[in-house]
Amino acid sequence: MRTVRPRGRCRRAVLGGLAALLAVSAHAGAQTPEGRHVYERHCAVCHGPKGDGNGEAAARLTTKPADLTAGRYKFRSTPSGALPTDEDLLRTVTRGVRGTAMVPQTHLSQAERQLVVGYLKRLSPRFAEPVPPAVEVPPAPAITPDLLARGARVYRASGCPECHGDGGKGDGPSARKGMKDARDLPIVPADLTRQPLKRGSAPEETWKSIALGLDGTPMPSYADALDPADIWALVLFLESLVPQERRHPEDRLLPGEEVLGDQIERQHREGR
């Protein structure tokens, strides 16, 4: 094995990073009670004190809160079946799950969000397993008519219309029969003709959803079935299905469950 000797500026950066890492882990270790405090104040109302998704507000929500004790996460940058990275968890806490009551937790400081991520990992014994490295999303290709036609072919050939419908509205034959998630709760396929999607509007995030799947749902990983370029063609074809008036800004709460989720969290926070 070759030893890599960092030099100059690079070396300083590495040492600085290392110091920060040590500080963070020492911090996380010492401050777990704080992570728990943040969780109880901001998360438990929906996810429940034990994290099983049965918080006092859960009954009011259409999309049920995640069971955090299962250690099974939809929004990962890791392969299907694997645990998410800390960055994945931090992203979901920070940006929320769009269209649901899991609203962006930007009222928390970055440090508080990091503490709560540390606490989330204590709610499931699965986090004793190693977390694989994040899959790298290749750069997006240029959009051409050929690429979009290829994306449309991939959409049909991969079986997407069965759930998401011919036009991507989430109204395929399986959707009409009614679908269930791994907890046996009703789940509807995404309407791909409006944004943001649950994971937001960034095409790179849609690429991850298709390549890596959304664990605990009927949405599979296509990493084995499609090559990365086909996935990009598919993502950009899906982008082309979203009319301007159905692109909602990412920085504003959507009416419905997002507004309700915001109210619940606020009332809970202020009532304590």
Partner 1 sequence: MKTTAGIVVGFVLSLMLAFAMLAPAGAQGERELHAVNINYEGNNVWTPGTYVVRKGEKVRFKLFNRVKADPNVHGFAIDEFNVKVDVYRDKPETVEFTADKAGIFRIWCHLHPAHLAGQLVVLEK
| Interacting residue ranges for partner 1, rule: CB under 8 A | 72, 80-81, 157-159, 162-163, 173-174, 177, 179-182, 213, 215-220, 222, 224-226
Q: Identify the CA nearest to 230 among candidates 202, 211, 203, 204.
A: 211
Degrees to nearest 5, angle at CA 39 with 204 and 201: 15
181 or 204, CB closer to partner 1? 181
**Min. distance of Cβ 235 from partner 1 in angstroms?**
18
Residue 227: half-sphere exposure toward Cβ, Cα within 13 Å: 2
**Min. distance of Cβ 51 from partner 1 in angstroms?**
20
Asked if residue 209 lies in contact with residue 217, where contact means CB atoms within 8 angstroms, the answer is no
Q: Can you tell me the distance from the alpha carbon of 66 to that of 74, in angstroms, rounded to the nearest whole number?
A: 10
Tell me the H-state helices in the chain: 8-30, 32-42, 44-47, 86-95, 110-120, 145-157, 161-164, 173-177, 203-212, 228-239, 257-271
**Min. distance of Cβ 207 from partner 1 in angstroms?**
18
> Which stretch of DSSP H or E encloses residue 186?
strand 186-187
202 or 225, CB closer to partner 1? 225
156 or 247, CB closer to partner 1? 156
197 or 219, CB closer to partner 1? 219
Q: Identify the CA nearest to 259 among candidates 60, 73, 56.
A: 60
28 or 212, CB closer to partner 1? 212
**Min. distance of Cβ 28 from partner 1 in angstroms?**
29
119 or 222, CB closer to partner 1? 222
**Min. distance of Cβ 218 from partner 1 in angstroms?**
5
**Min. distance of Cβ 71 from partner 1 in angstroms?**
13
> Which stretch of DSSP H or E encloses residue 180?
strand 179-180
